[in-house]
Amino acid sequence: MPYYSLGLEGSANKLGVGVIEHPLEKIAAYNHANVLSNVRDTYVTPPGEGFLPRDTARHHRNWVVRLIKQALREANIRPNQLNCICFTQGPGMGAPLQSVVIAARTIAQMWDLPLVGVNHCIGHIEMGREITGATNPVVLYVSGGNTQVIAYSRQRYRIFGETLDIAVGNCLDRFARTLQIPNAPSPGYNIEQLAKKGRHLVELPYTVKGMDLSMSGILEYVDNLAHDLFQGKKNKQLIRADGSKVTVEDLCFSLQECIYAMLVEITERAMAHVGSREVLIVGGVGCNERLQEMMGIMAKDRNGSIYATDERFCIDNGIMIAHAGLLAFRTGTRTPLDQSVCTQRFRTDEVFVSWRED
């Protein structure tokens, strides 16, 4: 009989539940995992507002039972067929994490199943590898709370470069708040649509520091430009070469060009450093078509290839937690009830990767 697991994810404003099936034997290119269900509900705030931990946690508590039921129904799986319950142990926002871990503990005890705590970042990486078939890529993990360049070495996903202050998704989300544009389906998506109409490049700070980068200064800078634009203040930077005015679309375009160029640059540096030709983009910002395009050009110049997934797996979801958790479960990992405490700080390189043999 194959293995089944149910994964619960709620580290930020998405609540996701998924059921995955692993055939017997080792998971490999010829032995794929099957996604049986992957449902999600996003807590969307009005334009100009971010999601607060308390409200997000309440959203998760309201929806978690409905989503678990829906996931099991779509997967056509009964609880007694499951092998384990997997949940996000961190990193993420405290209150949302906590409300989801309570749900996980509850169903684990109701159905008498073992718990497996999963690192959110590891979930993204493993699901990305499974879906795209990338074997040993350099991973760019970009989302609202994380920006890391990761490569695997000796049973750990090691962080080569990361943001020194805010994450790229956070930078985009906060700029979207300044612009007062809608948060649905996601602020980053709306910035992307505006950026498609932008043509003029406004010069922004370019802050790559070795393999790390910093984005808070860029956000401050572009925020100030936007304020000047709205208030009609005079600013040389807000005038194009032909004398016409810079638009909001131009600002979105420039922000994307600048920070994605930085991301691609540090990813390329990591690829050169570890000698890899594959690059995998995971995390919510990974859906961005311009980022994928830029990464693709870079990979092509290096005779390499890019692997990216679509919004089902890029944006936080339950299935990735189910998948990474089941991989760990099959090598003997269990999270006893008294150790199922979740944590806001949980680095990718803290996890011992027992399921990889290379």
Partner 1 sequence: MSSAILAQAHSYLSGIPLEVISQGAEAVVFLTTVHPYLSESMHPSDIQISSKYIIKYRPSKTYRHEILDKQLTKSRTAAEARLLSKLYSLKIPAPKLIALDAPHGIIWMEFLGFQLPNGHISSLKNWLWYLERQQEADTTATIALSDTVKQVLTLVGQAIAKLHLQDIVHGDLTSSNILLEQNIEELQPTLIDFGLSSYSPLAEDKAVDLYVLERALTSTHPVYSEKYNDWLLQGYEETYGGKTNNKRKYAEVSKRLEDVRLRGRKRSMLG
Over the range 170-200, which residues count as b (16 or more CB within 10 Å of their CB) and which as e? Answer: bbbbbbbbbbebebeebbbbbbbebbeebeb
Site for partner 1 contains 211 (CB under 8 A): yes
User: Using the rule CB under 8 A, which residue among 239, 272, 337, 341 binds partner 1?
Assistant: 272
Q: Which stretch binds partner 1 (CB under 8 A): 57-65, 93-101, 218-226, 255-263?
A: 255-263
Q: Which stretch binds partner 1 (CB under 8 A): 40-48, 64-72, 131-139, 266-274?
A: 266-274
Q: Is 90 annotated as a binding residue?
A: no
Provide the minimum distance between the beta carbon of 313 and partner 1 in the complex, in angstroms, as a whole number.
22
Alpha carbon distances (Å) from 316 to 40, 41, 99, 180: 9, 10, 16, 24
Q: What does the block give as tokens for 285?
A: 């910002």
Q: Is 173 annotated as a binding residue?
A: yes
Q: Is 227 annotated as a binding residue?
A: no
Site for partner 1 contains 239 (CB under 8 A): no
Closer by beta carbon to partner 1, 184 or else 297: 297
Site for partner 1 contains 125 (CB under 8 A): no
- DSSP H helices in the chain: 53-75, 94-110, 120-132, 168-179, 187-195, 216-231, 248-274, 289-301, 311-314, 318-330
Q: What does the block give as tokens for 216?
A: 């808070």
Closer by beta carbon to partner 1, 184 or else 272: 272
Q: Write out the binding residues for partner 1, residues 129-188 only, by CB under 8 A.
A: 146, 151, 153-154, 156, 158-160, 162-164
Query: Which residues lie closer than 8 Å to 340 by C-beta, 6 or more apart?
Result: 87, 89, 101, 104, 105, 115, 117
Site for partner 1 contains 300 (CB under 8 A): yes
Site for partner 1 contains 236 (CB under 8 A): no
Give the dihedral sign, CA 183/188/190/194.
Answer: positive
With beta carbons less than 8 A apart as the criterion, state whether 121 and 157 touch. Answer: yes
Q: Is 358 annotated as a binding residue?
A: no
Q: Which stretch binds partner 1 (CB under 8 A): 29-37, 61-69, 254-262, 327-335?
A: 254-262
Q: Is 124 annotated as a binding residue?
A: yes
State the DSSP code for 143.
S
User: Using the rule CB under 8 A, which residue among 91, 137, 169, 188 binds partner 1?
Assistant: 91
Q: Is 3 annotated as a binding residue?
A: no
Alpha carbon distances (Å) from 68 to 8, 78, 116, 285: 8, 11, 17, 26
Annotated binding site: 120, 124, 141-145, 173, 188, 192, 288, 316
| Residues forming the site for partner 1 (CB under 8 A) | 91, 146, 151, 153-154, 156, 158-160, 162-164, 201, 203, 206, 208-212, 257-258, 261, 264-265, 268-274, 293-295, 297-298, 300-303, 343-347, 350
